[in-house]
Amino acid sequence: MKLLCVLWVLCGLSSLLPALDREAFTVAKYDLEVRLEPKQQRLGARGKITLRNDSTHPQKIAALQISSSLDWRSIRVDGKVVQFVSQPYVSDIDHTGALSEAIVTLPAEIKPRDSVELEIGYEGVIPLDTTRLTRIGVPEEIAKHSSWDQISPSFTAVRGAGYVAWYPIATEAADFSEGNSLFEVVDRWKAREAGSQFTARVGMDRESEETPPLVICTSARESLMEQTGRAQRTSAECQWGRLGTVTPTFAMARYDNWLKSPLNLLSLPGHEEGAATYSKALEPAAKFVSGWFGTPSAPIAIADFADPNAAPFESGTLLMASMAAEDSKLAGINLVHELVHSAVPSSRPWVYEGLAHFAEAMYRQQQGGRQAALDFLGLHRAAFLDAEKDLAVAPQNGAQKNAGQPLATTFDETYYRSKAAYVWWMLRDMVGDDALKQAIGKYRADDDKDPKYVEQLIETAAKRDLGWFFDDWVYQDCGLPDFRVLSAHPWKTEKDVQFITVTLENLGKAGAEVPFTIRFDGGEITKRIEVRGKSTATMRVELAGVASEIVVNDGSVPESDLTNNVFKISGP
Ligand SMILES: [Zn+2]
């Protein structure tokens, strides 16, 4: 009887213990001192982090995770050591495919929305590691060009959450092999951290006569050199804001530094020609960007890779891209992208990245015409087409209803980069260059608080109601439109003037203003028409000849199905 009683109490108690909620806490503030020892590939960090309870329940246990190649050394609250259990936690959010997790028992329960400051210390190594890619079958030779993060004597570059957890995070396990699991976990983390502050002093001490390496984090302007006797300290004061679109990243190498405001070009020895390509491309790119987006507000940096095949990466106004080859087209596009970031800072990913990719497309148009720009956008369409198709077939009544990814709130790259680029392009086609330039010129990140702020700026400049368009493309994810010609009736007036009445149907749920071209003997004419979702629209067009064919959409509106866009008109 006694035993039963004890068992009952134990079971009763254990059912009262809440399951560990790894995503209850968000790190609202980081203030870290990071010491690098490249020869040993080592990193040692200490500092303070502020945890905010974002869950709806009081929390006494916090899970803090760093890369599995790092170890927790100490965790304190108010100067007192707190208990924690360190354990490995399998997750593909880190390049090693695992994390070192500290399960921390806090001195007191933290109420929802309340915060606690922790003093932390951790250290270990960050060598090149392709585990999470090779274990799903990516050959090592290929994996190392995308999983390039490492600390090494010749070249150091380390990206943050989603690549290497070199600072503490708090996430559920992510799995590369399970569809979107990794991206969903990373997107969730970015959304939670979107308003967090991050400062870190990253540096190394050395005793040597040779040129010290340069440490960079956002724009390389923050790199410092201090000399005390023979001892040198090279470091950078890193400050990252807008963590939703910026991944805390640092690099250290013996860079040649070429500076011409606002660009800081960091190239490695042997890549002088590639660097020269960038410096030549700066002036035309800067001229184009200032004409559309205003003058840059902050320096930008483009930094070289030791591995010429390393996949490029950007974080805020820092772009890492190999300068081993001379590619003037690519250099121009890369510069345009970063200059737009500098000219139009924003916490909204679809504004920040969408505008930068839209600018790339417009720059392509300036160099190679509208078709070149639409081909360029076409490459982006592939990125989100599948996801939008899933949306179209998602069950409407089931519990698993897919609400899609509204641009206004998404942290999914394919949406805030690729789909957003199209949305800006469509807006430009609808309201014209002058109105859109005017709206962008008035945009201020600090004023962008209301979700309808961007819509209002453009509507004011264009004097046109765009509520329906923003509803379908920005505030909700309605999937993509699908246009076809429903009917075409050629006719003639008594005075023998040729007309055609064209009715377009949109089978999709998202409305758009779409161009259509009527081909007739002797020429063609293009008109634009607004066709709302699941609707039709009709237009009468005067022609200088007998119509033979109608083609809907020149590629400027992303559609789910492009196979039904040509309509042949049979003769009388
Ligand atoms: Zn960007």
Q: Measured in angstroms, how far is the CA atom of residue 118 from the centroid of ligand 1?
A: 33
Q: By mean pLDDT, which of 31-45, 177-191, 279-293, 463-477 is the weakest?
A: 177-191
Q: Measured in angstroms, how far is the CA atom of residue 330 from the centroid of ligand 1?
A: 14
List, in sequence order, every residue forming a beta bridge with 54; answer none if it has no partner: none
> What pLDDT does 505 receive?
97
Structure tokens of 122? 């951790």
Question: Running DSSP on this structure, what letter comes out for residue 498?
Answer: E
Cα of 439 vs its chain's centroid, Å: 23
In the chain, pLDDT over 90 holds for what percent of residues?
75
User: What is the 3-state secondary structure of 550-562?
Assistant: EEECCCCCCCCCC
Q: Measured in angstroms, how far is the CA atom of residue 232 from the centroid of ligand 1?
A: 34
Q: Quick: pLDDT tens for 392-449.
A: 554 444 334 456 889 998 888 889 999 999 999 999 999 999 999 999 999 999 999 9
Q: Measured in angstroms, how far is the CA atom of residue 73 from the centroid of ligand 1?
A: 36
What is the arithmetic mean of pLDDT over 58-83?
Answer: 97
Alpha carbons 503 and 483: distance in angstroms, whole number:
11
Q: Measured in angstroms, how far is the CA atom of residue 356 from the centroid of ligand 1?
A: 6
pLDDT at 140 over 80: yes
Q: Measured in angstroms, how far is the CA atom of residue 327 from the centroid of ligand 1?
A: 19
pLDDT tier, 515 (very low <50, low <70, confident <90, very high otherwise): very high
Q: Quick check: bond before 212 cis, omega within 30? A: no
What is the arithmetic mean of pLDDT over 124-153?
Answer: 95
Q: Measured in angstroms, how far is the CA atom of residue 167 from the centroid of ligand 1?
A: 23
Contact (CB, 8 A) for 132 and 30: no
Q: Is 147 exposed, middle or buried (0-12, 13-18, 19+ CB in 10 A)?
A: buried
Q: Measured in angstroms, how far is the CA atom of residue 432 from the centroid of ligand 1?
A: 24
Contacting residues for 64 by C-beta, under 8 A, at least 6 apart: 72, 75, 101, 102, 104, 118, 120, 168, 169, 170
pLDDT tier, 5 (very low <50, low <70, confident <90, very high otherwise): very low
Q: Measured in angstroms, how far is the CA atom of residue 471 from the centroid of ligand 1?
A: 25
> What pLDDT does 440 receive?
97
> What pLDDT does 195 receive?
87
Q: Measured in angstroms, how far is the CA atom of residue 294 from the centroid of ligand 1?
A: 17
Question: Running DSSP on this structure, what letter comes out for residue 414?
Answer: I
Range list of β-strands (E), 111-173:
115-125, 156-158
Q: Measured in angstroms, how far is the CA atom of residue 414 from the centroid of ligand 1?
A: 12
**3-class DSSP state of 132:** helix
Alpha carbons 38 and 149: distance in angstroms, whole number:
13
Q: Measured in angstroms, how far is the CA atom of residue 159 from the centroid of ligand 1?
A: 15
Q: By mean pLDDT, which of 12-16, 104-108, 430-434 is the weakest?
A: 12-16
Q: Quick: pLDDT tens for 230-269.
A: 778 889 999 998 787 889 999 999 999 888 889 999 999 9
pLDDT at 10 over 80: no
What is the arithmetic mean of pLDDT over 372-395?
Answer: 79
| More confident: 289 or 19 | 289
Q: By mean pLDDT, which of 146-150, 349-353, 382-386, 550-554 is the weakest?
A: 382-386
Q: Measured in angstroms, how far is the CA atom of residue 488 from the centroid of ligand 1?
A: 43
Q: Sheet containing 547-552: which strands, arranged edge to edge? A: 523-531, 512-520, 547-552, 566-568
Q: Measured in angstroms, how far is the CA atom of residue 320 from the centroid of ligand 1?
A: 11
- CA geometry: angle 91, 171, 396, nearest 5 deg: 95
> Sign of dihedral through CA atoms 563, 566, 571, 572?
positive
Structure tokens of 124? 């270990």
In the chain, pLDDT over 70 holds for what percent of residues?
92
Question: To which residue do tokens 């399960």 refer?
Answer: 103
pLDDT tier, 496 (very low <50, low <70, confident <90, very high otherwise): confident
pTM of the shown model: 0.88
Q: Measured in angstroms, how far is the CA atom of residue 315 from the centroid of ligand 1?
A: 7
